[in-house]
Amino acid sequence: MPLIQVKTINETFTATQKTEIITKLTDAMVSIAGENLRPVTWITIEEICSGEWGIGGQPITIDAVRAMAAGKK
């Protein structure tokens, strides 16, 4: 059974967006592996606390994620 794990900074996505992530990732897997795997395709979303995830030696915060999403550096 497929297991897709998504890791993100806490509060990056709303509950509605998380539902969309789960739905679309499931659909993507089923489009590759076949409809029979839909009932056993698992998607998990793990949220990491702001500042507890590092990229390039720097902690990433929710403010930094929001700035990136807005196209700011």
Dist CA 40 CA 68 (whole Å): 34
pLDDT tens digits for 46-68? 999 999 999 899 999 999 888 98
Burial class (CB in 10 A: 0-12, 13-18, 19+), 4: middle
pLDDT tens digits for 10-40? 999 999 999 999 999 999 999 999 999 999 9
Q: Which domains does the chain have, with CATH numbers?
A: 3-69 (3.30.429.10)
